[in-house]
Amino acid sequence: MAKIITDSKKIEELLTRGVEEVIDAENLKKKLMSGKQLRIKLGIDPTSPNIHLGRSIPLLKLRDFQELGHKVVFIAGDFTGIIGDTSDKDSERPMLTDKIIKENLKNYKKQVGKIIDLKKCEFHQNSKWLKKLGYKEVGEHANIFSINGFISRENIAKRLKEGKRVSLREVLYPLMQGHDSVAVKADVELGGTDQKFNLLAGRDMQKEVGQNPQDVVMTKIINGLDGRKMSSSWGNTINFLDDANNMFGKIMSMSDDLVIPYFTLLTRVPLDMVSEHEKSLSLGFNPKDIKMKLAFEITKMYNSDKEALKAWENWENTFSKKEIPKDIKEVSVKSGTKLGEVLVKNNLLPSNSEFTRRISGGAIKDLETEEVVKENIEVKKDMTLKYGKKDFVRIIVK
């Protein structure tokens, strides 16, 4: 068993950095100081093939526990993902198919391994135990809770008030997440503040079966590139698998007021250094200089130091010296292919609606003619495009 670290300073930072609320804080502090190895649970549903930086907040917290010697338990919610959690949604999530979930899971372990040490981690898929449950077990689980508690949740109450549909399927999700805690005998569960109801469900279900109720650490939520909560549904994400240039560029494009929250929540740069950056900004230092340091820190976490440095150089060449990146992405297409299809099918843009938005906003420019592209043209010759503040592609016509 790993040596358990009981350094009070490290435990204090563990329970405060990026943390919104702890239940039960005093109980958890005592456990952490006792030297006993705890089982720390985090579950993420594979509703998208990409894990984004918003998810890194609880994952980094999971790593913090791991570095103190505790056993971390990661659950890829292949069964809960089919049902769908509406904790942070203002409308009903669609049910996903087994095929979509299986496809989304392909690179999940690789992505999680960018943050935590998989050799020292339990990695589960919750279909292992949830698929075995029948109506009898589900009925017993449901009997622990009241419908009043579910519909009093802010987003559910809002939907009901607006006359929107709330399916009975949605009521099942907290039961399943709670049963995950029972299945892995969690001592602590991590999750965002929007997960509070589900996290507390685990405590209630553990009490029912005679387990000690897990403590809960709720982490803060980060905004994405457009100022809304980072979400795959909105396409405002920075993803673990983004290449270095794309990741660096996305960070440089975001609002300056996100720099300090990103340093605090998405990196493990020492907090005293983060405070120095915050002080510099308050004194009028150029936010771009500090943002470049942030972009480098985050980019190297998911790529490498070498790639992060190269991305920094490329960004400066592109935006400070107005040059096209040396390693600009190239795609080959058939003559006559619509530009929107080129950008979306090659995963350069997340959707047709995003292409339409950029066209409407004058964000796509042909660098060879210096003209803004104003419609979904057919690509009939080689083109070099700038299709966003940080996005470049060279299109080669076969």
Half-sphere exposure of 176 (CA within 13 A, CB side): 30
**Burial, 139: exposed, middle or buried (Cβ in 10 Å; 0-12, 13-18, 19+)?**
exposed
- E strand or H helix that includes residue 335: none
Q: In the chain, what's the furthest Cα-to-Cα distance?
A: 71
Closest C-alpha to 190, from 179, 172, 177: 177
Q: Are 189 and 199 in contact (CB under 8 A)?
A: yes
Name, in order, each residue with C-beta under 8 angstroms of 357's C-beta and a sequence gap of 6 or more.
none
191 strand-pairing partners: 218
- Tokens representing 161 are 């008030």
Q: How far is CA 86 from CA 93, 120, 318, 369, in A?
A: 6, 31, 41, 47
pTM (2 d.p.): 0.80
Report helix angle 244-253 to 287-302, nearest 10. Answer: 150
CA–CA gap between residue 35 and residue 54 (Å, rounded): 31
Q: For the segment 59-78, what is each residue's pLDDT rounded down to a tens digit?
A: 999 999 999 999 999 999 99
Query: What's the chain's average pLDDT?
Result: 91
Instruction: Note whether 237 and 53 are within 8 A (CB).
Output: yes
Closest CA to 142 of 181, 184, 170, 183: 170
Give burial (CB, 10 Å; 0-12/13-18/19+) of 287: middle
Instruction: Give SS3 for 174.
Output: helix
Among residues 214, 76, 92, 197, the alpha carbon closest in space to that of 145 is found at 197
Q: 292: which DSSP letter?
A: H
Separation in Å, CA 232 to CA 42, 107, 281, 387: 19, 16, 30, 20
How would you write the pLDDT of the chain (398 residues) with one tens digit per residue? Answer: 679 999 999 999 999 999 999 999 999 999 999 999 999 999 999 989 999 999 999 999 999 999 999 999 999 999 999 888 766 556 667 788 999 999 999 999 999 999 999 999 999 999 999 999 999 999 999 898 888 777 777 777 777 888 887 777 888 888 999 999 999 999 999 999 988 989 999 999 999 999 999 999 999 999 998 888 998 878 889 999 999 998 999 999 888 999 999 999 999 999 999 999 999 999 988 899 999 999 999 999 999 999 999 999 988 887 766 667 777 888 989 889 999 999 999 999 999 989 998 998 888 988 877 788 999 999 988 888 988 877 889 898 87
Q: Which two tokens stand for residue 352?
A: 């047709």
